[in-house]
Amino acid sequence: MQDRVVVTGIGVISSIGIGKDAFWDSLIAGKSGITPVSSFDTQAYPTHNAGEVKDFNPLDFIDSKKASTLGRASALTISAARLSLEDSKIPLGNLNKERFGIVLGTTMGESQVLEKLNAAYIKKGIQAVDAFWVPKAPCNVLACNLAIEFGLAGPNFVIPTACAAGNYAIGYAYDLIRQDRADLMLAGGVDAFSRIAFTGFNRLFAVAPDKCQPFDKDRKGMMVGEGGAVMVIERLQNALKRKAEIYAEILGYGLSCDAHHMTAPFAAGIKMVLQKALKESKVLASQVDYISAHGTGTPANDKEECLAIHDVFGQYSKKIPISSIKSMLGHTMGAASAIAAAACCLTLRDDIIPPTINFQTPDPECDIDCVPNICRRQRVDIALNNALAFGGNNACLVLKKFIPA
| Active site (catalytic) residues | 163, 294, 331
Q: Which of 61, 20, 7, 80 has its CA nearest to residue 334?
A: 80
How far is residue 374's CA from residue 354's CA, in Å, rounded to a whole number? 8
Question: Strand 227-235 relative to strand 184-191: parallel, antiparallel, unpaired?
Answer: antiparallel
Question: Strand 376-377 relative to strand 49-50: parallel, antiparallel, unpaired?
Answer: unpaired
3-state SS string over the chain?
CCCCEEEEEEEEEECCEECHHHHHHHHHHCCCCCEECCCCCCCCCCCCEEECCCCCCHHHCCCHHHHCCCCHHHHHHHHHHHHHHHHHCCCHHHCCHHHEEEEEECCCCCHHHHHHHHHHHHHHCHHHCCCCCHHHCCCCHHHHHHHHHHCCCCCEEEECCHHHHHHHHHHHHHHHHHCCCCCEEEEEEEECCCHHHHHHHHHCCCECCCCCCCCECCCCCECEECEEEEEEEEEHHHHHHCCCCCCEEEEEEEEEECCCCCCCCCHHHHHHHHHHHHHHHCCCHHHCCEEECCCCCCHHHHHHHHHHHHHHHHHHCCCCEEECCHHHHCECHHHHHHHHHHHHHHHHHHCEECCECCCCCECHHHCCECCECCCEECCCCEEEEEEECHHHEEEEEEEECCCCC
How far is residue 152's CA from residue 146's CA, in Å, rounded to a whole number? 8
How far is residue 11's CA from residue 5's CA, in Å, rounded to a whole number? 18
How far is residue 66's CA from residue 47's CA, in Å, rounded to a whole number? 35
